[in-house]
Structure 1
């Protein structure tokens, strides 16, 4: 958001607050709610969608009245930071505003669809390069304005589990445990396999049903957009866990650690799926047309959705 817009925004906040105070939930308020282009005009001169969302919330929700002073105070602090060229201070105060709006929206009369759209837009935003967090300053999710959604997002999941289903014979249970070294430990057994190596991956979607099997699990989990590889390769999908090895009795015992399949955070594997394949994963080195996408690992024998484990 251009720094020169702070005084203008504060004036608008004051005006909107006065309007709400005088009119309450008048017809004019509902007219604005039903005419999003008018709301867009209020916030359209600002680069930050935070500003537009703040104005929208103030206009259409009288519940915001009690928080208007806090919101204006935060922007005053941000304006002071801008005046003293403390860009990082300014950015931090803006992040507090985002958390403030989260809390307001959570208790407002916006429709569920509107709330979801706001949350999705916010998840897609990232801190701009070059912005430095002040020492000792908590992350915005730890702000005094955080709501239950923020607290859930910062929750650290320590253990997950997946039950594999698929063919008539292949089955298994696998656990994922967050380690102090930042890696995730993967342990479990899979039975009913043909002896030998079988591709073993985390796939993008947790979409499994008995009728469709593993067909809707999508490709390998690959948030970085890389080529397929082995678990020890620099160039690999996050979900590339290599092969599991079945013995003569058809049982594969798994106990590995991996640094690219976290249980918490932006790239969490919770809600995704684990797939065991019929053939060996060539780790991208086989020279087949699908070596750099699937490892030429063949059919999907069994899969399951990764869920949070009950550790109580």
Structure 2
């Protein structure tokens, strides 16, 4: 089923010259299932994160603030299930493909995502394992090239 027509609790749509795609958030019994599909991205891997705010004002969506994190302070890490230390919003890397990306964020409610944003970065995410100064904060993912606010989805 196309993500455009799939049922969801929250949705974020990327529709710019550089980044095009859709992300759905679905509440299930254990947390939030995230389904993402991108139909247009620059070539290569791109860091993909949930950021704390949905304020897309400012150059490069600067108002979106830092990576979303629920819980005690943590350093940057990989997507769910890959690294023990990570921000809640660390989702790893994406690329243009015919396949969709799926993630599961345990012990989270979709309502905690409303008004936040998904951000696509220019470079790949090093999962906090690099030697660059920003590796433990952002995964050294580079500038923000695509931003989309997470909003409440229309119910079918």
* Corresponding residue for residue 56 of structure 2: 208
Q: What TM-score does the superposition give when structure 1 sets the normalisation length?
A: 0.44
Report matched runs for 1:135-154 at 5 Å: none
Shift of residue 213, structure 1, vs aligned partner: 4.6
Question: Deviation of residue 238 (structure 1)?
Answer: 0.8
Write out the 4+ residue segments of structure 1 that deviate beyond 3 Å after TM superposition: none
TM-score of the two chains, using structure 2 as the length reference: 0.83
Matches within 5 A, 1:63-82: none
Residue aligning to 1:111: none
Report the structure number with the largest CA radius of gyration.
Answer: 1
Distance 1:287 1:203, change over 3 A: same
For structure 1, the 5+ residue unaligned runs are: 1-157
Contact 1:229 1:237 in 2 (8 A): yes
Aligned CA distance change for structure 1 residues 260 and 227 (closer, same or farther; 3 Å): farther
> Alignment partner for residue 101 of structure 2, among 254, 259, 278?
254
Backbone CA RMSD of aligned residues:
2.0
Note the alpha carbon deviations across 1:8-46, whole angstroms, 9 max, x for none: xxxxxxxxxxxxxxxxxxxxxxxxxxxxxxxxxxxxxxx
Q: Which stretches in structure 2 are left out of the alignment for 5+ residues?
A: 1-7
Does the CA contact (< 8 Å) of 2:18 and 2:146 recur in 1? Answer: no
* 3-state SS of 1:304 partner: strand
Q: Is the counterpart of residue 263 in structure 1 residue 82 in structure 2?
A: no
Could you say which structure has the higher helix fraction? 1
Q: Does 1:244 align with 2:94?
A: yes
Shift of 1:261: 4.6
Structure 1, residues 232-259: CA drift from partner, whole Å, max 9, x if none? 2221101111111334xxx673222222
Tell me by how many angstroms 1:165 deviates.
4.2
Tell me the SS of whatever aligns to 1:214.
Answer: helix
More contact order relative to length (CA 8 Å, sep ≥ 6) = 2
Residues 246 and 305 of structure 1, relative CA distance in 2, 3 Å threshold: same
Residue 13 of structure 2 aligns with which residue? 163
Partner of 2:125: 281
**2:3 alignment partner in structure 1:** none
Residue 310 of structure 1 deviates from its aligned partner by 1.0
2:27 corresponds, among 151, 157, 178, to 178
